[in-house]
Chain A
Amino acid sequence: MATIKVKRPKLSVGEKVYFGSIFKGMIVTLRHAFKSIAGRSRGADELNSSGLGITMQYPEQKWDDELPEYYRGTPALVTDELDRERCVSCQLCEFICPPKAIKITPGEIPSNDEWAKVEKRPQEFDIDMIRCIYCGMCEEVCPEQAIYLRPDYIVTGTSRKEMVHGKHRLYEIGGKRIGLVNKWNELK
């Protein structure tokens, strides 16, 4: 490669004195300051600004409407259209989970139950949200399409215990999902 000689730009006297440039710079920064106080910063409207700069202030303002469809938030369990727990306690998600956040205690379904044919459902299903890395591998590995990453992302708690989502909470987040797995109902 040929060597390219870059010429240094010749500075005029005004540029060498430097005060003019500083003054210009200050006008630029001051203009930004005034505009951001007035809520007229460039891009403030598109970014849904709170009226100070271009920042959206979080707990009061949220970006939920703009979340993409594929957003991966908290993992949650779902029930099918007949309110059956989809999870069959195969524990594949527990084994695949990279940070070992999932803990399942399998339980038998009693023979007099409507869904006795399924044989198993989780007795306990805990996801430690401190450990969860939102990778989505549980969703990918699940043969029953029972666990999904939901668009919820606000997971807060004041103790470690509160940060562990139990079975009840997981179903609450997940809700009902009408889907592809029909092998346990009459449709099949």
Chain B
Amino acid sequence: MEITLLIAAAIKIGVFLGVTLTLVSVCVIFERRFSAIIQDRVGPNRTMIPLSILGFKKDLALPIGGLTQPMADGLKFILKEDFTPSYVRKAFFWLAPCMTMVPALITMAVVPFGSPIEFGDLVIPMAVADLNVGPLFIFAIASLSVYGITLAGWSSNSKYPFFGGVRSCAQMISYEIALGLSIIPVLMMFGTLNLGHIVEYQANNGWLLLPFWGEGLTAERWWMLIPLVISFFIFTTSIFAETNRTPFDLPECETELVGGYHTEYSSMKFALFFLGEYAAMIIGSALIVTLFLGGWSIGFGIDGLLPTGVWWVSLLHIGCFLTKVTVFILFFILVRWTVPRFRYDQLMNLGWIVFFEAALINVFIAALILAVPHVGYLAFGVCLTILLLITGVLFAIAKSAIHTPKEGSI
């Protein structure tokens, strides 16, 4: 029995890691094609399989619109010269790319890809590790990747990478707070930190942002939408900042910092940064989908009609989950090619003054709404008044704290 679990775990690790890495390369091609069509261009659409270097007459052109491009990209990264400048701190220089990529891939372990499969009398959850501290585990491990970027910046022993590293460090630490605080209302509603249970609840009782079936039709859930939508906004934006994506890609903005923290990196070491970044983006979308948009559930009560624990249902759910994640990745890409980059002080203002306060107040709003049935309307009114007062004070403080350039100072 334990052997079965072990084998299942090994298969899951292999498959989910493979899926994630494939998704990374799919992400890259999506990014390039999508950005191209947004800018009225074509993008890479004619990569061939170079059979001619193997001695065949012609190269093989598959009619899949450049989907072979990621293969060519990867091959290029592997075959390129791996150049290490002489002035770098070798040990850390080598450690940094791993420190960025490994945490991003490890966090994939707790994400439930599909509904559990029943295998004999065993129930195998479709997550590598069905932990009871899912989101906390993800935050804990994902925040490690800041070490990779900071180490890369420092060990490169060159000024622009150093700036990039410092910026990234400050940015990730700032947004981690908003990230953590913003999902507290979600966790308060679910009362569990197990991502598998969270998704199952959403499958039966309505996605968090679309409560249209099951318990989702109660008035409480609809009232909860107010803090949850705020949570969703803050969480999504913080994920953008955490993954160093535009509009928050200050650690690597080309116009100021050449390439940012990976300026001195080449070949596969650079590719690992690249991989880590995209893997973090996939994890980010997976987390958003899992928490707010029902994870693997098909939704609208369809999950309840399907038999549980059958392999094809699980596969269907995995497909559904991956579709949702892909759609969210497309959203990431769309945002990247729409929104211009923030200035650094705007970024810090947004993180510390706007999102931190908003997330904090949001926790109390959620608590109040959840408390109504237990404390009655009088206490609710009193608490609401106090909360509004505190919000007003906080708003005034925040407004005075945001530095606005004076008339004529620039």
Contact = CB atoms under 8 A, between A and B. Distances in A.
Contact of A32 (B38, B45, B407): B38
B230 to A, nearest CB: 12
B338 interface: yes
B86 interface: no
B266 to A, nearest CB: 28
Nearest to B40: A53
Contacts of B407: 5, 7-8
Nearest to B233: A19
Interface stretch (A20-28, A115-123, A163-171): A20-28
A52 B41 CA distance: 7
B34 to A, nearest CB: 7
B309 to A, nearest CB: 40
A63 to B, nearest CB: 16
Contacts of A28: 338
A53 B42 contact: yes
B38 A54 contact: no
B338 A32 contact: no
B337 A52 contact: no
A25 B42 contact: no
B6 interface: no
A188 B288 CA distance: 87
Nearest to A28: B338
Contacts of B338: 22, 25-26, 28-29
Nearest to B331: A26
Nearest to B408: A5
Given A7-B407, A29-B334, A30-B334, A53 B339 contact: no
Interface in B94-114: none
B255 interface: no
Contacts of A92: none
Contacts of B39: 32, 53
Interface in B227-244: 233
B37 interface: yes
A32 B334 CA distance: 11
Main SS of the interface on chain B?
Answer: loop
Interface stretch (A33-41, A69-77, A94-102, A174-182): A33-41
A87 B285 CA distance: 69
Nearest to A49: B40
Interface string A32-60: 11011100011010000010111101000
B327 interface: no
The contact size tier of chain B is: 10 to 19
Interface in B75-120: none
B41 A53 contact: yes
A33 B334 CA distance: 10
B41 A33 contact: no
A52 B46 CA distance: 13
Given A5-B408, A26-B334, A36 B37 contact: yes
B133 interface: no
Contacts of A50: 42
A30 B331 CA distance: 11
Contacts of A29: 38, 334, 337-338
B40 A32 contact: yes
Contact of B34 (A19, A33, A53): A33
Nearest to A41: B40
B123 interface: no
Nearest to A60: B46
Nearest to A26: B338
B335 interface: yes
A57 B34 contact: no
Nearest to B340: A25
Contacts of B40: 32, 35-36, 41-42, 44, 53-55
A54 to B, nearest CB: 5
Contacts of B41: 36, 53-55
A16 B123 CA distance: 51
Contacts of B173: none
A32 B37 contact: yes
A53 B408 contact: no
Q: State the 10 A-B residue pairs at the shortest beta-carbon distance, nearest first.
A: A53-B40, A25-B338, A41-B40, A36-B37, A55-B42, A29-B338, A33-B37, A54-B40, A29-B38, A36-B40
Interface of A: 5, 7-8, 19, 22, 25-26, 28-30, 32-33, 35-37, 41-42, 44, 50, 52-55, 57
29 contacts: A5-B407, A19-B233, A22-B335, A22-B338, A22-B339, A25-B338, A26-B334, A26-B335, A26-B338, A28-B338, A29-B38, A29-B334, A29-B337, A29-B338, A30-B38, A30-B334, A32-B37, A32-B40, A33-B38, A36-B38, A36-B41, A37-B37, A53-B40, A54-B40, A54-B41, A55-B40, A55-B41, A55-B42, A57-B42
Given A5-B407, A8-B407, 13 more contacts: A22-B338, A26-B334, A26-B338, A32-B37, A32-B39, A35-B40, A36-B40, A42-B40, A50-B42, A53-B36, A53-B37, A53-B41, A54-B40
